[in-house]
Amino acid sequence: MRLSLRKKVMVAVLLMALIVAGATALVSYNMYARSMEEHYERLTMNTARSAASMVDVQAVAELKDRTLEIYRGFCPDENTPPDFEAFDEADWDAYYAAYDEILQSDAYRKTFATLNALKEDNGVLWLYVAYMDEQTGQGIYIVDADSTQDACLPGTCGDIEPENRVLMEQGVYDFPPYITNYEEFGWLSSAAAAITAPDGTVVANAFVDFSMNQVMADRQAFLLRLAAVLAAAVEGAGVPGE
């Protein structure tokens, strides 16, 4: 009976030690995970601000004005975006063809070169300048620093995120960093900074997206290794399963 009691005490102590070790490891993991998220959030916001400060504001203003002029030519009225859902292939060809002059402009080439250099130097997944058109609720691409065929051409549109619209209504055009997980793109850390003229007028926004897929994969691998170690320790202690 003394041997049986001693064994039970030893097993209980071992289990308690494993629980404490597991809890400590999980706390450490959560601290590590949060620190990595904060690191990427700072990196993303700082890169967006760097992009906003490095581009030629006058060149961006010229591109924005011409892009918006073409875009509004396709709008049924000043508060309604183009009916893209009704576009057929010919309509899309005509729409993007209208922006060809922008692609050929010196202002576009200059802005693209600046953004692309920053993108390559900092390992950014996507870096682009867009105008947030509050009248039609659309974010309109002006320059996308992407040399592939997947690049978003000037005039490409997307709905302004609701949280960003709230900030804009408050006069805030720096969109704070946030982390998302999309089925199509994976884990992203995203942010935007306002590109402002000398008089304080907001000309456009510089948007940045960093991929966090490898970071998240490392986090998952850590959890799996932790679970395997704890399981092996419990099994090695001879604790019977339920």
For 181-204, the pLDDT digits (tens) are: 988 889 999 999 999 999 999 999
pLDDT tens, position by position, 58-97: 999 999 999 999 999 999 999 999 999 999 999 999 999 9
Kindly tell me the burial class for residue 163, based on how many C-beta atoms sit within 10 Å of its own C-beta (0-12, 13-18, 19 or more). Answer: exposed
Whole-number pLDDT of residue 231? 64
- The one-letter amino acid at 226: L
With a CB cutoff of 8 Å and minimum separation 6, the contacts of 22 are: 226, 230
- For residue 211, the tally of other CB atoms under 10 A from its CB is 17
Collect all residues with Cβ–Cβ distance below 8 Å to 194 and sequence separation of at least 6.
Answer: 52, 173, 174, 202, 204, 205
**Is residue 237 scored above 60 in pLDDT?**
no
Q: Check whether 242 has a pLDDT greater than 50.
A: no
Q: Of the ranges 10-19, 115-124, 182-191, which one carries the lowest mean pLDDT score?
A: 10-19
* pTM: predicted TM-score of the whole model, two decimal places: 0.81
Q: What is the mean pLDDT of residues 162-180?
A: 94
- Give the torsion sign (CA, 27, 33, 39, 41): negative
Rounded CA separation 41/109 (Å) = 29
Give Dmax over CA atoms of the chain in angstroms. Answer: 91
